């Protein structure tokens, strides 16, 4: 397998069949590019987890889940403006609602639902499919292409048709495993951070298919990568890659986050895998302090020292990492 094949950018995420752990570690991981992996053994979940199976499983009636509920007509869940509320319901009810079973609305007409599972003890531990959904975990093999002790969390995601999850990045490497339904994923490299109007870990640009370029002109410069996930497909999303996910139909996915950095570099309070690593948090704080100090100087001196600081930081950036892709 050649790393060049992964690096050639044509707007489509590369697809690889039957990748072994060795190949993944030697070729895919170091390239830090998203890849769709096909032909991995993810268990019998794609065949078994029909809506009826998920809805009627006795444990689904007993398992409560916190669900994003939104009546946003476009279906775009928006973390910046929070156009959703959380409601608790059984897993059975969620599946029934997501698959169009007639039920009383919870907040209004045209509701859509999105489950992102959280820890059994949601303030203390990250999500674990094995702990919270043991019956389901038995028929799902999450890809073990990384050292077992670097696993951080596993997340169950259930979505009603027409939901779009806002563009965001996570700070852990990730396998997004598609189990039922098709998902359309768009991705942007960390090099495009400056073009994505990022607040925290989310982009302010909501409608990525018809962006408001008068408000977000730099978005036009960002290189977009695309892929479609079918049941059984696994998308490798490297840490810091922005992703936006659309589901046209009822969808069930799972994902597993794992650590690339030493454990002590991650924020201990991070249960979602999206807080900045500690050295980055400290560096950002130091920059805030540096900016406050430079403001003490009159403009003439400030300009001079700001440029020096800029150059110092710029010299840390690998000159070969970015580059024009010429697409979109």
Ligand X SMILES: O=C(O)CCC(=O)C(=O)O
Tokens of 298: 């009159």
- The H-or-E segment that residue 256 falls in is strand 251-258
Contact range with ligand X by CB under 6 A, out of 26-34, 129-137, 168-176, 316-324? 168-176
Written as six digits, the tokens of 63 are 């398992």
- Per partner kind, with CB cut-offs from 5 to 8 A, the member of Fe ion, ligand X, none near residue 55 is none
Among 117, 160, 167, 174, binds ligand X (CB under 6 A): 174
Contact at 8 Å (CB) between 181 and 98? Answer: no
DSSP string, 177-225: EEEES-EEEEEE-GGGGGGS-EETTEES---TTS--TTT-GGGGGSPPE
DSSP-assigned beta bridge partners for residue 203? 198
3 state SS of 44: coil
Given 170, 173, 192, 233, the residue binding ligand X (CB under 6 A): 170
Q: Of the two residues 112 and 243, which places its CB atom closer to ligand X in the complex? A: 243
Question: In the complex, what is the shortest distance from the CB of residue 322 to Fe ion, in angstroms, rounded to a whole number?
Answer: 22
Nearest approach, Cβ of residue 312 and ligand X (Å)? 33
The footprint of ligand X on residues 250-309 (CB under 6 A) is: 253, 255
Are the beta carbons of 227 and 185 closer than 8 angstroms?
yes
What is the footprint of Fe ion within residues 111-170 (CB under 5 A)?
170
List the single partner that 235 binds among ligand X, Fe ion, none, CB under 5 to 8 Å by kind.
Answer: none
Shortest distance in whole angstroms from residue 156 CB to Fe ion: 14
Question: Binding segment for ligand X among 169-177, 284-292, 306-314, 315-323 (CB under 6 A)?
Answer: 169-177
**Residue 253 binds which entry of ligand X, Fe ion, none, with Cβ cut-offs from 5 to 8 Å by kind?**
ligand X
The CA-based diameter of the chain, rounded to the nearest angstrom, is 71
Contact criterion met (CB below 8 Å) for 235 and 150 = no
Q: Cβ of residue 61: shortest distance to ligand X, in angstroms?
A: 24
Q: CB nearer to Fe ion: give 14 or 165.
A: 165
Chain centre distance of CA 175: 10
Residues of this chain, 104-163, that bind ligand X according to CB under 6 A: 157
Residue among 237, 230, 172, 165 nearest 202 (CA): 165
# chain residues binding Fe ion, by CB under 5 A: 1
Site residues for ligand X per CB under 6 A: 157, 165, 170, 174, 176, 183, 243, 245, 253, 255
């Amino acid at each position: 397998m050649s790393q060049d094949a992964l690096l050639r950018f044509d707007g489509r995420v590369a697809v690889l069949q039957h990748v072994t752990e060795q190949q993944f570690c030697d070729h895919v991981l170091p390239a830090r590019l998203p890849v769709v992996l096909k032909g991995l053994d993810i268990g019998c979940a794609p065949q078994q987890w029909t809506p009826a199976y998920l809805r009627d499983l006795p444990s689904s009636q007993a398992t409560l889940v916190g669900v994003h509920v939104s009546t946003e007509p476009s279906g775009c869940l928006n973390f910046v403006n929070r156009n959703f509320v959380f409601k608790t319901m059984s897993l059975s009810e969620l599946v029934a609602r997501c698959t169009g079973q007639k039920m009383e609305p919870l907040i209004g007409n045209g509701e859509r639902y999105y489950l992102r599972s959280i820890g059994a003890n949601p303030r203390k531990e990250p999500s674990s499919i094995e702990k919270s959904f043991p019956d389901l975990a038995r028929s799902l093999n999450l890809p073990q292409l990384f050292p077992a002790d670097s696993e951080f969390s596993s997340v169950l995601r259930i979505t009603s048709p027409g939901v779009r999850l806002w563009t965001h990045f996570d700070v852990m490497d990730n396998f997004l495993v598609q189990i039922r339904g098709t998902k359309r994923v768009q991705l942007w490299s960390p090099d495009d951070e400056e073009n994505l109007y990022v607040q925290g870990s989310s982009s302010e640009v909501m409608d990525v298919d018809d962006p408001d370029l008068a408000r977000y002109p730099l978005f036009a410069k960002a290189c977009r990568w695309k892929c479609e996930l079918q049941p059984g497909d696994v998308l490798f999303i490297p840490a810091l890659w922005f992703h936006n996910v659309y589901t046209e139909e009822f969808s069930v996915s799972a994902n597993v986050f794992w650590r690339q950095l030493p454990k002590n570099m991650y924020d201990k309070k991070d249960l979602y895998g999206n807080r900045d690593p500690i050295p980055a948090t400290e560096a950002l704080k130091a920059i805030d302090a540096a900016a406050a100090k430079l403001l003490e100087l009159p403009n003439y001196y400030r300009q001079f020292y700001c440029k020096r600081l800029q150059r110092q930081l710029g010299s840390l950036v690998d000159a070969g990492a970015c580059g024009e892709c010429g697409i979109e």
